[in-house]
């Protein structure tokens, strides 16, 4: 293993992570819910009248973040190397997988580990391992 010290951004990673933690904290302490993006989105496909509003509001906040950020400062670049066919396959897998596994990087990774949930720890270890293995196959085999 070679650590890429030029790409490694420890301070902004910790600061951004703390903001994500703060968002999860606000959502739990004020709204009583888990800030799990896949579940918030997935719930929109199973709509209940009293529950669409807060789901859409959370999604709107996420989508607005880069728009507001770009008013104040230049938005950091987002480099998407995958072509459309790979993006579609990846998106389908992420959609189906996060709903079967009942969570993603936010719900299991951030919130579940913060709650010291063994179930979320298993999910996080599995999706991280699958992610590591997939990149190993696509880049090194």
Name which of 49 and 140 has its Cβ closer to another protein.
140
> Measured from the CB of residue 98, what is the shortest distance to another protein in angstroms?
5
> Measured from the CB of residue 28, what is the shortest distance to another protein in angstroms?
4
**How far is C-alpha 109 from the chain's CA centre?**
8
Name which of 49 and 82 has its Cβ closer to another protein.
82
Name which of 49 and 80 has its Cβ closer to another protein.
80
> Measured from the CB of residue 87, what is the shortest distance to another protein in angstroms?
5
91: Cβ contacts below 8 Å, ≥ 6 apart: none
The label of the residue with tokens 């950020």 reads 69
> Measured from the CB of residue 89, what is the shortest distance to another protein in angstroms?
6
Q: Are residues 111 and 120 in contact, defined by beta-carbon separation less than 8 angstroms?
A: yes
Name which of 46 and 49 has its Cβ closer to another protein.
46
SS3 46: coil
The label of the residue with tokens 């992610």 reads 131
């Amino acid at each position: 293993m070679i650590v890429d010290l030029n790409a490694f951004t420890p301070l902004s990673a910790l600061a951004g992570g703390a903001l994500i933690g703060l968002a999860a904290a606000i959502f739990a302490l004020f709204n009583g819910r888990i800030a799990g993006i896949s579940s918030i989105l997935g719930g929109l496909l199973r709509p209940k009248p009293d529950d669409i509003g807060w789901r859409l509001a959370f999604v709107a906040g996420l989508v607005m973040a880069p728009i507001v950020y770009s008013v104040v400062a230049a938005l950091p670049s987002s480099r998407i190397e995958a072509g459309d066919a790979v993006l579609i396959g990846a998106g389908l897998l992420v959609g189906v997988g996060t709903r079967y596994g009942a969570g993603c990087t936010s719900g299991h990774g951030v919130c579940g580990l913060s709650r010291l949930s063994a179930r979320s720890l298993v999910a996080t270890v599995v999706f991280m391992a699958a992610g590591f293995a997939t990149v190993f196959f696509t880049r090194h085999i």
